[in-house]
Structure 1
């Protein structure tokens, strides 16, 4: 091994003679990147520098492996150089060394750099005790002999590696970078009768990683991984999500991957640093929905509106929907599309119910009143409640009324049918006729 290091080390900048990059972006603001490179190596020890990396790379995640198992490439060390050059850092290396400074008037000052700050530079004239203090606003150029060693103008990976022969060798570079994410953006247009929506979706990419990715193969992971698994997991199902009219080479496919879903963009994608980009996930799909009014006995009397649907093939969907923001629109009497509300959905598998909160109803109000409270024993009390629902609309509606009651309760008397929504909540489904009011009375016993 000692004789190995006696060979001449070749220092090369990593040239992308052949590069193929694929990237998998996660919702959690990070991505895994895989780049195939063709390195032109000399036999023996080579120092290779690779600068085409993002600012927010996780250096401990970097792996460089030969693609062919028969290729003998031994990596002795790997350095991540991120001490990037700037004016102050370079000047700091030139303290007590000669520099040349030119001011805007054309005068040249040569001498030893003694000090500098954000406002001025102090130079001692060569061969003299004379000192010049020059304001930075007066400066035009600072001339230095050379760039100090171990300075880099951009983040750099530096490898010391051994190759058993000269020539072009194919390797794969893998790493994780932060500050790049994706989410889904949905547009739902409600129909005239409020019983169906046209639902379309966009993939929204946000790249702030410090690197441009050009013509990459793009995948998007929907899920919440605790860790990234290196072993491949094979897909069990695959389904096209793109619209019927979209060319086959475009669009997105989804497949189950481990306990997540992986969305693959068919076409290659380019995205600049500090850029947001949208890609169509699927075009408008007609989905059957139900409009719902809900009143949770709040003191303001607000009755919320929402739309519910089951993510099933029967209703027009039946595909895994990644989490994202849903903006809801509807056409008015003049056939103009108007915004009526928005809500977020979580990762939603097929055949699950999805509810989108739209807003607060204008023509429907509720009023909750405590009519009577009585302590009936040391370990129990009862309360009598009244809920008044006022429908000022010109059509009948159904309102879901919920009241959170606590842990140990039972309704001993009620004017209307009810059910336990959960261990803590009672629910009434109430029909209210057009331009009429409806009153519900119920008594609750609480046990301690």
Structure 2
């Protein structure tokens, strides 16, 4: 070997230079387009675990030396799908892409220093004296951490003293933020403005509607908030934000790797035999409050990793419509989909939610309808369900696409807004029927009785009472074949719909006959 190396140098051969590393941390511009969770066609989003995805486009300026370079894009979304990443603006094409998933965290440090030497620091409760000793991490971080000292083996945090581990350095393969690295090449040193575009999981959005019904005018003021959630640990400041309604065609991709748990879950056991303690003792951490706080502080060094296992703070109900509305998302067509563009830049915060005004229709016409399905009928009087029904048309005060979401319904009585119900709304196009199921009314009651039955038919009678000072419109839904169709009968989603009007402070009834299929 000593002879071969000088000979190769004389022949002009030299080992290839290692690739230079270029770290990109600053983002000069970012656009975030959020798509709803696949399969969720109505209702509110899951704020604790957003199941949608986003298309993120970042503009960055980097300086690339001549030769091979590894460009590390730090601060990408935690749920990045590396197979979707596209980098444009480089001198040459990307030859390799890597998603660096190992982050600086308590669990990540333990894993990185497995079988390596660390310093174990303990504090005496009575004297306050701090002692340090060398230790080797022999097992961890899942299921507890086992360290070896000069005295033998022990589990971390089981000594009864406040203790922590000190690390000599942060390993080079641990990143403070999620990182996408690419391998590229340039024939000269160049400063380039590149565009990094990728898809990431952990986002979602929905519409949050607030409906105020005015009993005097019979109209509804409908307002919608655009509610979005970012379940990742990365913030996108001053982003150009768009959301897409309805479901684009999307092929199923490979399931991304499960993110590592950044927190340490340490377990101890009693110092005597296991038979003297019940099973539930072993699932608890018998350390004093001081140790628990010290490891909570240790968990605070996590820069970007999401702290799993803690209940998410529930988001409050949608706020009332602002007056006046300063910023409203603008609706555009995107093929068969609908795109809502926020006209101003906003910050999409990590582990956070945001609401932006989306739709404002102050005078929508809705009608109160009392509807009951005979399948739930009873010979005894019972309250009748009711709903608000309208048409998504300009003539009825709407006439805009209504994205799926949750609706909170208030009724204005003597100047006060009272909560009367809530409902889920699916995606509705213009001119479609809009319905908000609310609940049951004790003022309008109904009962169902069988009049007679023969071999081929059954005769039924529905009786209704109305204690309200105004006439009410009711609908009886029959999910069976009718022997005769009464005037005004229509085919509805749940069966045949039989209309009936009940006068104020009065009663009404109707009869129908069902055909029986008997052999």
- Which TM class, normalised by the smaller chain length? 0.7 to 0.9
- 1:322 counterpart residue number: 403
Q: Which moved more, 1:297-306 or 1:133-142?
A: 133-142
1:20 maps to 29
Contact 2:144 2:155 in 1 (8 A): no
Alignment partner of 1:103 is 2:122: yes
SS of the residue 2:430 aligns to: coil
Confirm whether residue 35 of structure 1 aligns to residue 58 of structure 2.
yes
Aligned to 2:215: 192
C-alpha separation in 1, matches of 2:470 and 2:167: 83
- 1:306 — aligned with what? 387
Other structure's SS at 1:31 match = strand
Change (3 A) 1:328 1:5: farther
Q: 1:148: Cα distance to partner? A: 3.9
Match of 1:358 among 421, 434, 438: 438
Counterparts in 2 of 1:17-416, with a 5 A limit? 19-28=28-37, 29-66=52-89, 72-87=91-106, 90-91=109-110, 94=113, 97-104=116-123, 105-110=129-134, 118=144, 121-124=147-150, 131=152, 136=157, 137-138=160-161, 140-193=163-216, 195-227=218-250, 250-297=327-374, 298-299=376-377, 301-333=382-414, 335-375=415-455, 381-405=456-480, 409-412=481-484
Give the match for residue 10 of structure 1: 20
Question: Matches of 2:449 and 2:424 in 1, distance apart?
Answer: 32
Instruction: Check the 8 A contact 2:368/2:473 in 1, yes or no.
Output: no
Aligned to 1:236: none
Determine which structure has the larger strand proportion and give its number: 1
- Indicate conservation of the 8 Å contact 2:119/2:135, yes or no: yes
- Structure 2 residue matching 1:400: 3-state secondary structure: strand
Structure 2-normalised TM-score?
0.72
**1:270-308 Cα deviation digits (max 9, x unpaired):** 021111111111335211222212122223533222121
Q: Distance in 1 between matches of 2:472 and 2:17?
A: 86
CA distance, structure 1, for counterparts of residue 349 and residue 187 of structure 2? 38
CA separation of 1:384/1:39 partners in 2, compared to 1, >3 Å: closer, same or farther? same
- Gaps spanning 5+ residues in structure 1: where? 125-129, 229-241, 376-380
Question: What is the CA-CA distance between 1:354 and the residue it aligns to?
Answer: 0.8
Relative CO higher for 1 or 2, CA cutoff 8 Å, sep ≥ 6? 2
The Cα shift of 1:164 comes to: 2.9
TM-score (structure 1 length as normaliser): 0.83
Unaligned residue ranges in structure 2 (runs of 5+):
1-12, 38-51, 124-128, 252-320
Question: Is 2:34–2:55's contact at 8 Å kept on the other side of the alignment?
Answer: yes
Shift of 1:173: 0.7
Q: CA deviation at 1:32?
A: 0.7
Q: Give the C-alpha shift of residue 111 in structure 1.
A: 6.2
| Cα separation, 2, equivalents of 1:431 and 1:214 | 56
Shift of 1:226: 2.1
8 Å contact 1:8–1:44 — kept in the other structure? no
RMSD: 2.9
- Partner-residue secondary structure (3-state), 2:400: coil
